Amino acid sequence: MKSNEIKDAALKYFTIHGYEGASLSQIAEEVGMKKQSIYAHFKGKDDLFLQVLRDAKETELSSKLQYFSKVDSKNPENDLYGFLQLVIDLFQENEHIKFWLRMSFFPPAHLEKEIGQEVIDIEEKVQAILECKFHDWIKAKLIVEDEAITPTYAFLGVVDSILLELVYGNDEKRLKDKLAASWKVFWRGISQE
Amino acid sequence: MKSNEIKDAALKYFTIHGYEGASLSQIAEEVGMKKQSIYAHFKGKDDLFLQVLRDAKETELSSKLQYFSKVDSKNPENDLYGFLQLVIDLFQENEHIKFWLRMSFFPPAHLEKEIGQEVIDIEEKVQAILECKFHDWIKAKLIVEDEAITPTYAFLGVVDSILLELVYGNDEKRLKDKLAASWKVFWRGISQE
DNA sequence: TTATAACTGACGAACGTTCGTTAAATTATG
DNA sequence: CATAATTTAACGAACGTTCGTCAGTTATAA
């Protein structure tokens, strides 16, 4: 399907150059066509962008939901660390998350509203699942007694810091070390001893 | 000085729209002149951008260095939490850090090299100071025994996650709660008990 | 044949940039 | 002190280029 090729190329250029910096001619050239031909598949630049955005959102959301659905949930140490690994893997094997990250934090001004909605949507869902898990783990005395929201926010913070390191991303060793350090301190901070 | 007014306006538009999305005519209009007049003060868009970048770098670096120089260093809990507060205050009282953050992670492609150099420079300096402090605190048995780099990376992770929340920044309460949660778990993770 | 998807050509608008000019401010000179 | 020379900072006009978009045309395939 040609429109998927276009979306792939668009994803790439939007990720590298941002909305304003990515041009339809570059995207078209990557697929081997003229920029005007894009209009046979999309209404315009905004339409193309929003479709890419929704694909990226779905990729990210479904990967994360799937992870939590197949995990057994009796071992927070494995589940949480596995989630961090999942984020790293997702980031490295496709560009969707980098695109998503860039547009979450620095959206094109005229689409800020619509993007913000999607971001909040995904965020609430992931947070809700995590909070629920933490609630169970606390009740089962697998981690330290506290409000469930506390480890949830702290863990989301670890995820964010790893994501930033990935975006920055020119130093594989530094990433490994930062992950190890953040995880070690985080886990010590929420585990019973 | 007119060129400072131009740099202020440029900082604003570069921060909101990115390098490619910010136009010289907008910037000029903000200062009450035509875009051609900018060329009396700067060689071109790149020159203007790089000067703004270096100002932003200096603002950020000197604030952080100053903080660590005036802190007494015998109380890691206060010093570290104070640093997080400093980052939040800096972020909220001037635009330099938001600009810096955007350009660190999503630089305009043709200036990636030069920006990367500046980013690494600032990062190494802050990390070196922190690592040194942690080393002392560990030796003084004020925090848990470990390699100094471990709490350093973990703390930098907390800083990053707070910065991301600030960029995202439409929810004051969420910021407070995330800071509280991350800090609580972090501190429990590195403190002696 | 009919629909789809690519093409060519052209559009107005905006971009960063350069030019030549003007008026004001500053400095140097008599 | 007054005048001439120079510098500064702004300007309008235009440069060539690229942008996103639309209209009309051709080729492909069911």
One-character DSSP codes across A92-151: HH-SHHHHHHHHHHS--GGGHHHHHHHHHHHHHHHHHHHHHHHHHHHHTTSB-SS-THHH
Mean pLDDT to the nearest integer, B150-156 = 98
One-character DSSP codes across B100-142: HHHHHHS--GGGHHHHHHHHHHHHHHHHHHHHHHHHHHHHTTS
Rounded to whole angstroms, the Cα distance separating B65 from A157 reads 25
**Nucleotide C29 C1' to residue B89 CA (A):** 55
Looking at residue B146, the DSSP 8-state letter turns out to be: S
Residue A170 or residue A37, greater confidence: A37
pLDDT class for B192, splitting at 50, 70, 90?
Answer: confident
Rounded to whole angstroms, the Cα distance separating A62 from B181 reads 27
pLDDT digits (tens, 9 = 90+) for A21-60: 999 999 999 999 999 999 999 999 999 999 999 999 999 9
Q: Is the pLDDT of residue B170 over 80?
A: no
pLDDT for position B74:
86
| Token digits of residue B53 | 């970048």
Q: Is the CB of A106 within 7 Å of strand D?
A: no
Cβ-contact B99, B167 below 8 angstroms: no
pLDDT for position A139:
96
pLDDT for position A89:
95
Residue to test with chain B: of A153, A159, A166, A192, most B Cβ within 10 A: A153
- Produce one character per residue of B3-35: b if its CB has 16 or more CB atoms within 10 Å, e if not: eeebbbbbbbbbbbbbbbbbebebbbeebebee
Q: Is the pLDDT of residue B177 over 80?
A: yes
Tell me which chain A residues have a C-beta less than 8 angstroms from the C-beta of B184. 146, 150, 154, 189
Helix axes B149-168, B172-190, angle to 10 degrees: 170
pLDDT digits (tens, 9 = 90+) for B63-105: 999 999 988 778 999 999 999 999 999 999 989 999 999 999 9
Q: Is the pLDDT of residue B30 over 80?
A: yes
| Chain A interface with B: residues with Cβ < 8 Å | 16-21, 102, 104-106, 108-109, 116, 144, 146, 149-154, 156-158, 160-165, 167-168, 170, 177-178, 180-182, 184-190
Going by C-alpha positions, the residue among A62, A56, A65 that lies closest to residue A101 is A56
pLDDT for position B52:
97
pLDDT for position B59:
94
Mean pLDDT to the nearest integer, B135-143 = 96
Average pLDDT, chain B: 95
Average pLDDT, chain A: 95
pLDDT class for A73, splitting at 50, 70, 90?
Answer: confident
User: Among B109, B156, B181, whose Cβ lies nearest the Cβ of A153?
Assistant: B181
Rounded to whole angstroms, the Cα distance separating B66 from B13 reads 28
pLDDT for position B73:
78
pLDDT digits (tens, 9 = 90+) for B44-58: 999 999 999 999 999
% pLDDT > 90, chain B: 93
Mean pLDDT to the nearest integer, A91-104 = 94
pLDDT digits (tens, 9 = 90+) for B11-29: 999 999 999 999 999 999 9
pLDDT for position A180:
98
Cβ-contact B70, B78 below 8 angstroms: no
Q: Is the pLDDT of residue A102 over 80?
A: yes
pLDDT for position A176:
97
User: Among A149, A151, A160, whose Cβ lies nearest the Cβ of B160?
Assistant: A160
pLDDT for position A72:
75
- Produce one character per residue of B117-128: b if its CB has 16 or more CB atoms within 10 Å, e if not: ebbeebeeebee
Residue whose tokens read 């009740």: A139
pLDDT for position A27:
97
If one counts every other C-beta atom within 10 angstroms of the C-beta of residue A9, the result is 21
pTM of this structure: 0.94
CA Rg, chain B, in Å? 19
Mean pLDDT to the nearest integer, A115-124 = 96
| Token digits of residue B97 | 């850090």
